[in-house]
Amino acid sequence: MGGPPYDCMANPLGAVRLTFEKAIGSGSLTQTHPLAFDGKDWGALDLFRHFLFQESGLSQVPILNSKTMRWVQPNSLVRYRGMIQDMLGNEFYVGAYKDGNLWRTNKFMDVSQYPMGTPPDMCVWERRLLYCVPVPGQSSWTEPSCEMEPNRGMDWSSQNREKRRRMDDEDADPLDLVPDDEIKSSPITKKMREDGFPSPSPESRDSKTASSSSSMSTFQYVDKDNLPCLVKIYDSPESELKLNDVFEFIGVLTVDSELAVEKDDNDELSNSFYDDALVHLPPNKVPRLHCLVHRKLAVHDFLQSSPIMEPHLVKGIREALFRHLTTVLGNDEVAAHFMLLHLLSKVHARVDDVAVGKLSLNLMGLSKESATVFGTRLSQAFKSLLPFTHFIPLTLEYLNTASLAPKKDYQENRLIPGVLQLPEGSHIMVDETQLESGSLSSIGIENTKSLKNLMEFQKVEYDFQYYKMEMAADVQLLIFSEGKSNIVPADVVVPFQPSSLESFEIPVAEALEAWRWYLATVRLLPHSIGSEMQKVVEDDLVAARQADRSLGSRDFSRWLTMARLVSSSFGETCLSLEHWQMVKELERLRRERLK
Amino acid sequence: MASDSSPANFNNGPSSPGDSFSTPIANSSSPAHRRRRGRRQASIPSSAAATPSPNPSRFANSSSTPTPSRSTRRGRRPATSPTPAAAATPSSTDDFPPPSSDGGDDMEEATPTFVWGTNISVQDVKNAIQMFIKHFRETHELRNDVYGEGKYMRLIHRVLEIEGEWIDVDAHDVFNYDSDLYNKMVRYPLEVLAIFDIVLMDIVSLINPLFDKHVQVRIHNLKSSTSMRNLNPSDIEKMVSLKGMVIRCSSIIPEIREAVFRCIVCGYHSDPVVVDRGRITEPTTCSNQECLAKNSMTLVHNRCRFADKQIVRLQETPDEIPEGGTPHTVSLLMHDKLVDAGKPGDRVEITGIYRAMSVRVGPTQRTVKSLFKTYIDCLHIEKTDKSRMMSEDPMEVDKGSQRVEDDVQFDEDKVEELKELSKQPDIYERLTRSLAPNIWELDDIKKGLLCQLFGGNALKLPSGASFRGDINILLVGDPGTSKSQLLQYIHKLAPRGIYTSGRGSSAVGLTAYVTKDPETGETVLESGALVLSDRGICCIDEFDKMSDNARSMLHEVMEQQTVSIAKAGIIASLNARTSVLACANPSGSRYNPRLSVIDNIHLPPTLLSRFDLIYLVLDKADEQTDRRLAKHIVSLHFEDTQIAEQDVLDLATLTAYVSYARKNIHPQLSDEAAEELTRGYVEMRKRGNFPGSSKKVITATPRQIESLIRLSEALARIRFSEWVEMRDVTEAFRLLEVAMQQSATDHSTGTIDMDLITTGVSASERMRRENVLAATRNIIMEKIQLGGPSVRLLELLDELKKQSSGSEIHLHDLRNAVATLASEGFVVLQGDSVKRI
């Protein structure tokens, strides 16, 4: 211990201890009894917040992942980015105890350094345990570039080397057409490549075995690329951290091998008393992070830079992105229009069962072959644009075997993740063209139901065996199908009519960055409607319904969603007549195609 | 030590009955305790090792040897020191039966004893408990019978009679009698319960000195129950009460309580050795004076005493989980009789003591993991799901399919709130508005559905005849008129219900079927949708697409409310007291207003007549409606969603309201309501007889009056009224008429005609047919000679049209008429030509 008083990076616990001693006034005659803190912060957090955000120490803090895991020192400050996959409840620990005459604290630690006293001489506090995993389907561009000072180890160069090696691997793979695209970050993306687009590289074949079972048990996350983390949360209200939220946790890393011993002297009795989950998560596989500061991550936080919002800029970006999408979609402008709106959609509000603002898209008229071709192109495009992408090949076998909805396993007392346990703003591509006739097992039926539920209500039912719990989701869904998909009925069905298959240029990094920023920003824009415009819209709706009785509230709802998205896509916050006309025109074009 | 725990010891108790209540408890038990303490010190090395068994004292004091200062303090309050007190919790009371009061150790008589670390006097607590047990009476007892025995004295007597092992003490009673005692009990349960047990045993031994079982006290029904989520370090060592669901039970763990050792050298049996802190110390030497062999003792298993123990995991019920959270769990430690009291899936309320124990890294390591594992030492467990609403006669229902709504518990506040709500004058309209608020218009249909949710009273006459209280509703209408959404909504709201689609349902799937158990080969009866929704609502979508076979099964269900099975040696009649809510599409995809309901939906009239209300959901091209829809959707997208709908009850309140009413309100017909019913019914039947018209139209059947009664009962229920009043009946008539006007209107005359429903042919239609028949007969009589040449049908039709200029006659009408005549033997029909014979 010891160390310079404010080396928050290398010796955060020392800093904690210093503030603690200061807070209780140790040394002086009038010591504050730590009971007074009641587990709350005594000033340590301010110190770290100041260090991280004022002194911009944040960028120096190494990010914990499987690569950095090798050289990061235990008991140092690290940050971890991940999704809260499961909540393991609360844990009571001895927060403060008297060692002789000195009060010491155990906060942010697993094991106490000194023998502990007896009840009056110690305080029991509580902390929350969260099981976090790297965000499923995370695109490679979201991985932050490390800007570490060189003297903090060989990290930067070694990382570069690491990266290069992986790139080399890819280059060496002749069948892998994916250009500079590190999509090997998660088993799910791997799976997507594997199942969706045949790429018979031995590497991905290996990964298939890992990923196919990854849906069965979280243990598989303990593979090389994915580092789960057990985060211990102090001093924060429960409502702040929710399941499936993506967070950055900054805290003290502990990988005490000592703790592993615990497993050995378990007899049956004690075993059932321990939180079962912990027994199954040995510290050598799942590092512990004692969280000091945490912050919710939005897509923005993954961007490397953030341009300034300017109306004309937005329009320029929109135009460029639209061109790009048109090329990817084989010069089908109508489809590209809908695709753009689809990518901007987001659940804005929920009224009863209606999730307002979602816009799932069904591209129909695709054969198996063309779905593969365009699927590849689109998935590449999405991966470079969106933070979290997924691909579900809707085959009978997949439906009958995959576990889409998360399920609670009471043996391990863990929530076993399903494919549909996703953070807000994930994108799923479903390829229905591969579906053939056959019979669904009960699992298959459950799975289709889950998909349909997600599509219609943006909700996933988590199976807690004795009951099911609905969790709200916000996922964009894109479906390829030959005819209109009935298994997963989308909001918009667009017959897809590509006219050319010219290859598209790989956009420059700056353009990509701007597009990512655009997609992330524009969908958050507020939206309103003027009273005149409202009148126009209402009149149009009434007229449309008078003309065609088959139009229902669903269609109207879709139109208004589209109106909102069109107007947002131009960076505007108020619906204008021009944009409303555009929606009607788009809808007309779409209906024409449907005939 | 051995004698301490043997039952014989109890006999000493009453030898000095006088002081059993007057001697300070400390004195009475100190000798025993002293001995015990001495032995503990000897066993400290072993007990310091990590043991999973509950640490008897607060926190980790097992990990440290008692300091001198503490041991002196202990000497003063032996019986209530945490150690024996903990041991005396129900979990292990047998080990330390309350020491007899014959101890001759009076030297500390003058010093008051306190619960350690507090200023609670043991003697005070003891007195308070004695007072409570002896003198507590329930309020109604106080008035009637002042001299009889109190509630708990009676209970004790009863327990003695049935040789029970525990007494359930309602914490509310404790609170009402002595709130101070209650607070002490909740804050220091270990100590207070130990005293409670001692007092209890004293009383028991007074009543029956020979009673050799140990009677424990079990507290339940605490004033406040904690949420699992809110358990925090300050609750440790306190008495808590939790609700939750059992998710996992460990196997039963036999826990040794008393061990007997035998010397392998001389065969001498040692005295029983009692468990101390989860450990048994094996005697190192044989205590037989003649042997004294070292390390020669072995355990004699079948002379040891074991107790059952089980670890159960309890999980939060879904309604307590905040948004975006996962359920919390907590471990429970069950002992003896509590073992297997709850099975996985049970919803229970438990009362127990929240405990924490420290975790050691390893027996040899000095460092202690700074963690505590928490569990609840369970004192009492109560299943809460018995009170599931409306299941007075519950059938086995698959637990997995139960939804949250099943388990709405009504606390007093909630009931008050609901009652307050029911007093509002516009509650009926408000509920209607709250029902599927995002579906527009259809107000009358919603009112009908509301009645269905509340339901009428089922009636069973002594003669055995029974009348259903469930209201069946059929919705017929154009596609895209949100029928299915209504159905889904009701399904979600209904207390119990199954949603099925007619297309996928077979008869057995709806009712019940017999299968062979693959393992045992036994035939078992499995319930179908209708049986599963007993006392709920069975929603059947696409009713028209159901196979005839399946539909015919519904006849019995909808009127008799049972399902009869005679298959594979099983003859059974299952209850299916379910309301059916069905919806159907017209046979051509659009409703043809020129055809009758029967023609529009291809449903047998026999089945149709079993629906109380049949609504037509027609999509009328109405600009007003469209505009409202447009407004609604625009506001949904652009405005704050809160503004869009005001004054609407949320789903939870609505559900609670419905379930409370169904459970607690059983309205009866008032006299004037009954009169109004009769009057109205007669009126309705009269309406069929038009003055000067020869045709007879039946506008109401006895089935309708039953429906009316049910509807008015449901309407009274909506108001939480025990009496069906005039206005309920009026509204019921209105509802029925609205429904009938839509479905049973004879389109040619515009009057209500029940014949349409019951036979499928309206009275006016029948009259028309007769007219055509008569006209045809006349024409044939005129035109065709007997045995003459045959006449083509088309010629006949022209002739017919000429004669009856008013009404239009179609070819098929003529065909029908000719066919009738042919059957009379009047004509012969050969292909298209008619020949008279």
Domain residue limits at B680 = 671-758
Q: Contact A466/B328, CB-based, under 8 Å? A: no
User: How many Å apart are CA A63 and CA A80, to the nearest integer?
Assistant: 6
Backbone dihedral angles phi then psi of residue B185, each to the nearest 5 degrees: -65, -40
Asked if the model's pLDDT at residue B758 lies above 70, the reply is: no
Name the residue facing A124 among B331, B372, B645 (closest C-beta): B372
Q: What is the dihedral of CA B165, B309, B244, B492, to 10 degrees?
A: -100
Listed by number, the residues of chain A in 460-499 with a beta carbon closer than 8 Å to a beta carbon of chain B are 464-467, 469, 471-472
Strand order from edge to edge, sheet including A407-409: A414-416, A407-409, A459-463, A468-472
Above pLDDT 70, what percent of chain B? 60
Structure confidence at residue A113 (pLDDT): 63
Q: Is residue B378 part of a domain?
A: yes
Same domain assignment for residues B130 and B196: yes
Amino acid code (one letter) for B645: E
Confidence of residue B91 (pLDDT cuts 50, 70, 90): very low
Domains of chain B: total: 5
Which CATH number goes with the domain that contains B675? 1.10.8
- Most confident region among A245-254, A267-276, B481-490, B564-573 by mean pLDDT: A245-254
Domain harbouring B332, CATH code: 2.40.50.140
CB atoms within 10 A of CB B282: 14
pLDDT at A516 (0 to 100)? 85
Q: Can you list the positions of beta strands (E) in A302-445?
A: 349-351, 354-356, 361-364, 389-393, 407-409, 414-416, 426-431
What pLDDT does B496 receive?
Answer: 66
Residue B419 inside a domain? The answer is: no
Instruction: Name the helix (H) or strand (E) containing B347.
Output: strand B347-360
**B117: nearest CA partner in chain A:** A120
ipTM over 0.85: no
Same domain, B128 and B14: yes
Q: Does residue A372 carry a pLDDT above 50? A: yes
Tokens 């292909």 belong to which residue?
B831
| A455-505 per-position pLDDT tens digit | 888 888 888 877 778 888 889 999 888 888 777 788 888 888 888 777 767
User: Which of B354, B387, B420 delimits the end of a domain?
Assistant: B387
Residue after which a domain boundary falls, among B372, B387, B402 = B387
Residues B249 and B366 in one domain: yes
**pLDDT, chain B, mean:** 68
Window B:249-288, CB contacts with A under 8 Å: 250, 253
Would you say residue B402 lies in a domain?
no
Query: What is the nearest CA distance from A142 to chain B, expressed in angstroms?
Result: 25
Residue A548 in contact with partner chain B when CB distance is under 8 A: no
Of the listed ranges A52-56, A312-316, B146-150, the least confidently predicted one is B146-150
Q: Which of B61, B231, B253 sits opposite A119 (nearest CB)?
A: B61
A77-99/A492-495 β-pairing: unpaired
Query: What's the average model confidence in pLDDT over B422-445?
Result: 75
Q: How far apart are CA B136 and CA B151, in angstroms?
A: 6
Measured in angstroms, the CA of B384 and the nearest CA of chain A are apart by: 15
Q: Which of B176, B189, B72 is nearest to B125 (CA)?
A: B189
Minimum CA–CA partner of B332 in chain A: A273
**Chain A contact for B313, CB < 8 A?**
yes
Residues in chain B: 837
The answer to whether residues B767 and B754 belong to one domain is no
Dist CA A61 CA A83 (whole Å): 19
Among A352, A464, A550, beta carbon nearest to B480: A550
Q: Is the pLDDT of residue A578 over 60?
A: yes
pLDDT band per the 50, 70, 90 thresholds, residue A237? confident
Q: Is A506 on the interface with B (CB under 8 A)?
A: no
CB contacts of A123 in chain B (<8 Å) are 233
| Lowest mean pLDDT segment, chosen from A158-167, A215-224, A344-353 | A215-224
Mean pLDDT over B259-271 rounds to 79
Contact A566/B at CB under 8 A: no
Q: Is the dihedral of CA B399, B400, B406, B407 positive or negative?
A: positive
- Which stretch of A14-18, A152-156, B745-749 has the lowest confidence by average pLDDT? A152-156
**B366 to chain A: which residues are within 8 Å by CB?**
115
CA–CA–CA angle B818, B820, B826 (5° rounding): 75
Does residue B475 sit in the same domain as residue B611? yes
C-alpha to C-alpha distance for B537 and B659, rounded to whole angstroms: 13
- Given a contact cutoff of 8 angstroms between Cβ atoms, the answer to whether B80 and B73 are in contact is no
Q: For residue B474, what pLDDT band results from cuts at 50, 70 and 90?
A: confident
Q: Do B356 and A92 touch (CB under 8 A)?
A: yes
CA distance B439 to chain A (A): 9
CATH of A184-215+307-521, one of 2.40.50, 3.10.20, 3.40.1130, 3.40.50: 3.40.50
**Inter-chain CB proximity A542 and B245 less than 8 Å:** no
Tens-place pLDDT, residues A90-133: 888 877 777 777 777 778 877 666 665 555 567 778 888 888 88
The domain segmentation of chain A, as residue ranges, is 12-134+228-297, 184-215+307-521, 525-595
Interface test with A, best of B369, B490, B590 (most A CBs within 10 A): B369
Would the pLDDT of B334 be above 60?
A: yes
Q: Which pLDDT score is estimated for B170?
A: 82
> Facing residues of B219 across strands?
B169
Q: Any CB–CB contact under 8 A between B334 and chain A?
A: no
Same-domain status, B499 and B561: yes
Contact B400 A465 (CB under 8 A): yes
Residues of A in contact with B504 (CB under 8 A): none
Q: Do A464 and B327 touch (CB under 8 A)?
A: yes
Q: Are B606 and A497 in contact (CB under 8 A)?
A: no
Q: Tell me the percentage of chain A whose pLDDT exceeds 70.
A: 73
Judged by phi (left if over 0) then psi (alpha if -120 to 50, else beta), residue B647 lies in left
Tell me the nearest-neighbour CA distance from A536 into chain B, angstroms. Answer: 11
CA distance A482 to A479: 10
B11 and B125, same domain (yes or no): yes
- Read off the pLDDT band of B130 (50, 70, 90): confident
Q: Which candidate in A347, A466, A525, A573 is best for mutational testing of the B interface (most B CBs within 10 A)?
A: A466
Minimal CA–CA distance to B498: which of B395, B393, B586, B601? B395
pTM listed for this prediction = 0.66
CA B713 to chain A, closest CA, distance in angstroms equals 30
Given CB atoms, is A546 within the 8 Å cutoff of chain B? yes
User: What per-residue confidence (pLDDT) applies to B593?
Assistant: 63
Domain boundary among B758, B778, B806: B758
Determine, for residues B361 and A111 on separate chains, whether the beta-carbon distance falls below 8 Å.
yes
B634 touches chain A (CB under 8 A): yes
Is the residue at B271 inside a domain? no
Same-domain status, B88 and B17: yes
CATH number at residue B115: 3.30.1640.10
Q: Is residue B393 part of a domain?
A: no
On whether both B802 and B828 belong to a single domain, the answer is: yes
Q: Is residue B683 in some structural domain?
A: yes
Average per-residue pLDDT for chain A: 74
